[in-house]
Amino acid sequence: MSEPVNQARRALNETPADRLVGGVGDVLVRSYGITDVELYQVDYRLSELLPLTEGDPITSPGHPAWRAFDHQSPTLTDGTAWFPVTMRGERRGVLCLSPVPDDREVLAALAEISTALAHELAAVSAGTDVYRAARRAQRLTLAAEMQWDLLPGRSRIRPSFSLAGQLEPAYAVRGGSFDWSDDGQRLWLSTINGSGEGVAASLLTSLATHALRNARRAGLSLADQTALADQALYDLYRGEQHLSALLMELDLRSGTMTVVDAGSPRLVLLRDGEVTEQPLEAQFPLGMFEATDYHEQKFPLERGDRIFVVSDGVLEATGQHVRYGETALDRFLRRTGPMAPLDAVRSLIGDLRAFVAGDLVNDAVVVCLDWTGPQP
């Protein structure tokens, strides 16, 4: 590892949380004569790259910044370089640097520094609002603020899988949500089709998510996780409030998928270019009745399979009095095969926005999971 990279890592560790970009900039000007350093973070809608300090948002898809973000590789144009700021598959944005020489070793070192910045941003984000505040193009509603803070991230890459998810309308989402976790042997993924309005919907989803996490971390089976969350909601709301959820557990060694469908969002399988809806046993939504007994289903995944989970808000999106529906969804999903999961999710959301000619009205949740197979 080059000395400038080591110096940048030390600067990131020692610089106050709100000055990370400035700390990196001090190293870059000494080591490479790079005088202009700016972090552009992707906004909640995945449609703008917003500067941390001053400047205009970058919205044009053909801009070098978006090429770096989309392809996850550095882009150098006329002495200005754009580097992905990404940690374990979580794309935070891009780092803009200039002047940058067209030198392979320098570009490689700067790419390492950009990755180190991504890790440090993740480490400090709980203790400062600087970066969260700068990545919003408009004010979040209170319910949306609660929902985004509930998420584990927006994308993740591991040797045997990659996944991504998105909430819409991003700045006003109410109860739609998703959650995931893995331990190297299993991946747990839940998608919630929220119920209700405003903060009340967000509180309902938050209770369900934390109940599921509590049960998962206690080592309970998927069916028992569902039952615990169901009981937690029923104990508080006595059946007056409930929500739909799909719980999934993927064995990362065998590719066996275990599912509990609690009045769930739709699960779609993309295999060899063909789209099929996975048949599931519909069971009661969480919190509807007391002491509901949930059952697990299992089905095998094949290497290269892609799974989409979409909430009702996707299928029911309406433009010009026409419903988006299953046919349009299946047709669009077929086209996502070559895309990375985050790009597939972003493209689907973009298609929905174009269909309704604006932001979605009802909550929509899209999650995409690629199973790349067990690793040796």
Is 153 within a domain?
yes
The reply to whether 162 and 123 lie within a common domain is no
The reply to whether 156 and 82 lie within a common domain is no
Is 188 within a domain?
yes
The reply to whether 71 and 180 lie within a common domain is no
Q: Domain range for residue 289? A: 142-371
Bridge partners of residue 121, in order along the sequence? none
Bridge partners of residue 268, in order along the sequence? 277, 308
The reply to whether 35 and 126 lie within a common domain is yes
The reply to whether 149 and 290 lie within a common domain is yes
| Domain's final residue, options 100, 135, 170 | 135
Instruction: Give the chain's end-to-end CA distance (angstroms, integer).
Output: 28
The reply to whether 160 and 304 lie within a common domain is yes
Q: Per residue in 54-86, is it b (16+ CB within 10 Å) or e — as a string?
A: eeeebeeeebbbbbbbbebebbbeeeebbbbbb
The reply to whether 332 and 203 lie within a common domain is yes
Per-residue pLDDT, 375: 72
What CATH number is attached to the domain comprising 302?
Answer: 3.60.40.10
Q: How far is CA 226 from CA 176, 188, 243, 249, in A?
A: 17, 12, 12, 12
| Closest C-alpha among 133, 173, 142, 164 to residue 43 | 133
- Given the structure tokens 């989402």, which residue do they identify? 173
Are the CB atoms for 97 and 81 separated by under 8 Å? yes
* Half-sphere exposure in the Cβ direction for 252 (13 Å, CA): 18
**Dihedral sign from CA coordinates of 103, 105, 110, 111:** positive
Number of structural domains (the chain) is 2
Q: Which residues of the chain have pLDDT under 50?
A: none
Is 275 within a domain?
yes
The reply to whether 118 and 180 lie within a common domain is no
CB neighbour class for 233 (10 Å; exposed up to 12, middle 13-18, buried from 19): buried
The reply to whether 87 and 178 lie within a common domain is no
Q: How far is CA 332 from CA 217, 273, 324, 350, 358, in A?
A: 36, 11, 11, 11, 18
The reply to whether 270 and 215 lie within a common domain is yes
Is 233 within a domain?
yes
| Domain's final residue, options 135, 154, 174 | 135
CA–CA separation, 23 vs 17, rounded Å?
Answer: 10
What CATH number is attached to the domain comprising 21?
Answer: 3.30.450.40
Is 260 within a domain?
yes
| Domain's final residue, options 94, 120, 135 | 135
Per-residue pLDDT, 374: 87
Count CB neighbours of 303 within 10 A: 10
The reply to whether 111 and 166 lie within a common domain is no
Is 103 within a domain?
yes
CA–CA separation, 74 vs 82, rounded Å?
Answer: 6
Phi, psi torsion values for 114, nearest 5 degrees? -65, -40
Is 376 within a domain?
no
The reply to whether 122 and 263 lie within a common domain is no
